Amino acid sequence: MVVAAFLCTLAVVLSILACVITTDSGISANWWPMFVVATYAIAPFPLVLFSKGSDGGMATYWAFFTTGWITTASFGIPAILAHSKIIALGNCFLSIAASLVFYGSAVGVQWYQARKESSFSF
């Protein structure tokens, strides 16, 4: 769990670096890439609010869809901002790297917990 906390902190630091570092002389540094951090915060809420176990109801599917949409938006926001020349391409790559680190740590924690709870061991 300490590694997951470190990786989440690294993701936030990369997001801050995507805001403050000027990677293109024509585009100044701005704080628009911090919208990606908002997606980190709101991504798990649909699953927490709407999924009630594994009953397979419509609310569960809606929660999965909404969570997937929010997660995809965290990769799409920097790409759209870079395409419209609001942020530089280097800042876009830093922001996408932050998303990869954050969601990679979340998947790693889920994998570790599932492996720990499994009765099958190698």
What pLDDT digit, counting tens, does each position of 55-80 carry?
678 888 888 999 999 999 999 999 99
Q: What's the number of domains the chain is made of?
A: 1
24 phi and psi angles, rounded to 5 deg: -135, 135
In a domain, 90, yes or no: yes
In a domain, 121, yes or no: no
In this prediction, residues 91-114 reach a mean pLDDT of 94
**Residue 119: pLDDT band with limits 50, 70, 90:** low
Q: In the predicted model, is pLDDT for residue 53 greater than 80?
A: no
Q: Which domain holds residue 53?
A: 2-14+44-114
Q: pLDDT at position 78, please?
A: 96
pTM for this predicted structure:
0.87
CA pseudo-torsion sign 10, 78, 96, 2: positive
In a domain, 23, yes or no: no
Q: Which residue has the higher pLDDT, 117 or 13?
A: 13
